[in-house]
Structure 1
Amino acid sequence: MKAHRTPWWQPAIGLALGLAAGAGVAVLGERYGLTLIGAPWFVAALLVAIGILVLVLAINVHKYATTDPRKRPRTFVNPTLAFHTLVLAKALALAGAALAGWYFGQIIPSIGHMEAEFYASAVRECAVTGVICLADMIVGLVGEWLCQLPPNEGPENPKVRDAARERGVTPAAAKTAENRTCGR
């Protein structure tokens, strides 16, 4: 399976759609007297925690993938966890963009009413949460980059040859054993 990097235009579209939706909801809420704007502070705290979790997982995957196979520590990184970390990073990038647009979109119609305490508080909440969502978008894009695998090192690579020699297997025997296990 080959995963492709998230193109630049996908977070941009998410940001634009979130901006339009947030502004639309704020205008509708203002027109019909509903309180649809703002964000509770625990949402911002939860978004920070998710961003930190994805960043830590992506850094662990990056360390494991870029470390020499002979010197790899025994860590809790396996292919499934690495793949799930990549998916989390992609999802965080897109969700962070859309949510940043949503919260910044709510600010636009509310700025004219900031003399009222309700609107001033809602603008503050949306601004803080919007900045956190932008940071999550960046963490997601960086985490996706960190989950890249280094170029494939074939059997002729000196590192692979030396690692096989340390295990007591010659490169030709390792290739023959690999062909038998792969059903070739």
Structure 2
Amino acid sequence: MKARRTPWWHYVVAALLGLVAGAGLAAYGESSGLALIGVPWFVPVLLMLLGVIVLVLAIQVHRYATTEPAKRQGRSMDPERAVATLMLCKALGLAGAALAGWYAGQIILSISHIEASYYAHAVAQCGVAGVVCLIDMIIGIVGEGLCKLPPSEGPENPKLKEMQRRASLASAAAKTRH
């Protein structure tokens, strides 16, 4: 399986879509009189916990992938687990971007009413949740990088290139001695 890094603009698009949706929800809530903005306090806690779990999984994949095969001492990693961790990182990064935009959209439309205690609490809740979502987005991006496997033993492998370079230097030195 060949996986590619998520392009930077995917995060921008997700954040912009979230921003439009969050602002739309806040505008609809204002016009209809429904209390739709804000976020319960346990949501940022759960999102942060999810981010930490995904980061720990990505670090485990990174440690396994960068450890020399001789030093692994019988430890193995299921390839499906490594791929699932990569997909979790990608999903966390994109969801973090979209949710950060969502909460930013709610803040932008609600900030003009911040003198009312309901809006002040909603802006504070959305601010905390937005920061946690940005952290989750960063964890997703970093985790995606940690899940990168080193090159295989093919011609691109840096160790193989170094061995070929040394062999060519040694043969050149042997030719100059004769």
Q: TM-score, normalised by structure 1?
A: 0.82
Q: Structure 1 residues 142 and 3 mapped into 2: Cα distance closer, same or farther (>3 Å)?
A: same
Shift of 1:72: 1.2
Taking structure 1 as reference, are residues 125 and 73 closer, same or farther at Cα in structure 2, changes over 3 Å only? farther
Provide structure 1 residue ranges, at least 5 long, that are not aligned to the other structure.
161-184
Displacement, 1:77?
2.6
Aligned pair count?
Answer: 158
One-letter code aligned to 1:92: L
String of CA shifts for 1:96-116, please: whole Å, max 9, x gaps: 000000011100010011111
In the alignment, does 2:31 pair up with 1:27?
A: no
* Alignment pair present for 1:144 and 2:144: yes
Give the whole-Å Cα distance in 2 for the aligned partners of 1:147 and 1:139.
12
Structure 1 segments of 4+ aligned residues over 6 angstroms from their partners: none
* Deviation readout 1:114-170 (Å, 9 max, x if unpaired): 111100000000000000001100100110000000011259x8x89xxxxxxxxxx
C-alpha distance in structure 2 between counterparts of 1:39 and 1:74, whole Å: 46
Q: Partner residue of 1:2?
A: 2
Alignment of 1:74-85 (within 5 A): 74-75=74-75, 77-85=77-85
From the superposition, tell whether residues 112 and 46 of structure 1 become closer, same or farther in structure 2 (CA, over 3 Å). same
Contact kept? 1:29, 1:36, Cα under 8 Å: yes
Sequence identity percentage:
63
**C-alpha distance 60-32 of structure 1, shift in aligned 2 (>3 A):** same
- What's 1:103 paired with? 103
1:108 and 1:68, CA in 2 relative to 1: closer, same or farther beyond 3 A?
same
- Provide TM-score, normalisation by structure 2: 0.85
Would you say the 8 A contact 1:5–1:144 is kept in 2?
yes
Q: Which amino acid aligns with 2:121?
A: S
CA shift, 1:76, in A, is: 6.4
Distance 1:37 1:92 in 2: 22
Aligned-residue RMSD, C-alpha: 1.7
Q: How does 1:8-87 map to 2 (within 5 A)?
A: 8-75=8-75, 77-87=77-87
d(CA) in 2 for partners of 1:38, 1:75: 46
Q: Find the counterpart in structure 1 of residue 90 from structure 2.
A: 90
Q: Which residue of 1 aligns with 2:175?
A: none
For residues 104-143 of structure 1, the aligned pairs below 5 Å read 104-143=104-143
CA distance in 2, matches of 1:75, 1:132: 34
In structure 1, distance between residues paired with 2:138 and 2:74 = 29
> Mapping of 1:148-167 within 5 angstroms?
148-154=148-154
Residue 50 of structure 1 aligns with an amino acid whose one-letter code is L
